[in-house]
Amino acid sequence: MSRARTILAPLVKILISAVLIAILLSRIDGSRLLDMARTASSSWLLASLALYLLMILVSAWRWGVLLRAQQVGLPFRWLTSSFLVATFFNNFLPSNIGGDVVRIADTAPTAGSKTLATTVVLIDRGLGLLGLVLIAAIGATAWTRPDSMGPVGPVILWLGFAVGATVATPALANPHWFARLLHPLRSLHPEWIAERIARLTAALVRFRETPAALAQCFAGAVVVQALLVAFYLAIAYSLRIDVAFVDLAFIVPVTFIVQMLPVSMNGFGVREATFGFYFSRLGLPLESALVVSLMGAAMIMLFSLSGAVVYVGRRRAGA
């Protein structure tokens, strides 16, 4: 049964993505979309790649800040190369956790513990998600056409941010209390689980003792999300689509939140449908939404190939 599910799940995701893309394409003028893509400004597309590179550099810096808080020192260049490889796996594997596995595997030997490496990546992910929701809430608050917001408004997003911060705070403020919540898991494998809980608790205690690192990482997460918005804004400018930064500051994070639902292949179809929904609310044609979404995905995948180059170089160096 598990093997059948492993095979069936990706096929269902591919089917859902294909159906959504087919429905969207049936509702647009395909020649108009191709004309928009062909006439895209190369200078703005290069600017989008530069913004994405800057986002990767800030992401690697955030990760390094958390690792140093755990007394794990790795060169920024190494962290950047690892993040590039992780980005490649995130975009070319049918799951976005492949990159996290790469990051954990790369830092576990120096950290001396897979549990510690995993904890750092999970904290990084959690703070990144909070930054994502914060940017979405700010964008929703500044949305230029509040009468056409749709079902997800600023109240929901600010509430989501508050709930996320409230849930995360006890684990960091009182690690031993959080560890006690995990104690029932020891019944599964007493010694192994107990050791991992102890290591997790020690990592959380070190984070509690270095609040500046958490603050820096969160600030970096906000910058990362702002850079992703700027990336899509550069894509829109390359296509001569008139959309405001504040509007994309709402659309882009919400799109990434929707993509987290495990119902499609790497967000294809779901991402385009979300862009289409909100672009139509702004009075923009569906073609403009699809071309921005697809062009953005194409530029991200193009950039991600640099991670494949780094990965191949590592393999050769190891050999």
Secondary structure (DSSP) of 172-224: HH-HHHHHHHHGGGGGTSHHHHHHHHHHHHHHHHHHHH-HHHHHHHHHHHHHH
**199 located within any domain:** yes
**158 located within any domain:** yes
**196 located within any domain:** yes
**7 located within any domain:** no
- Rounded Cα distance between 223 and 127, Å, is 12
**248 located within any domain:** yes
**279 located within any domain:** yes
Written as six digits, the tokens of 67 are 């690792």
**51 located within any domain:** yes
Per-residue confidence (pLDDT) for residue 2, from 0 to 100: 61
Per-residue confidence (pLDDT) for residue 261, from 0 to 100: 80
Per-residue confidence (pLDDT) for residue 58, from 0 to 100: 97
Written as six digits, the tokens of 280 are 């139509």
pTM of the model: 0.89
Counting the structural domains of the chain, the total is: 1
Per-residue confidence (pLDDT) for residue 237, from 0 to 100: 96
Per-residue confidence (pLDDT) for residue 59, from 0 to 100: 96
Per-residue confidence (pLDDT) for residue 94, from 0 to 100: 66
Per-residue confidence (pLDDT) for residue 181, from 0 to 100: 72
Query: How far lies 211's CA from each of 130, 156, 184, 192, 229, in Å?
Result: 16, 28, 29, 29, 27
Domain range for residue 245? 41-313
Per-residue confidence (pLDDT) for residue 64, from 0 to 100: 95
**272 located within any domain:** yes
pLDDT tens column, 84-110 = 999 999 888 766 667 889 999 999 999
Q: Which residues of the chain have pLDDT under 50?
A: none
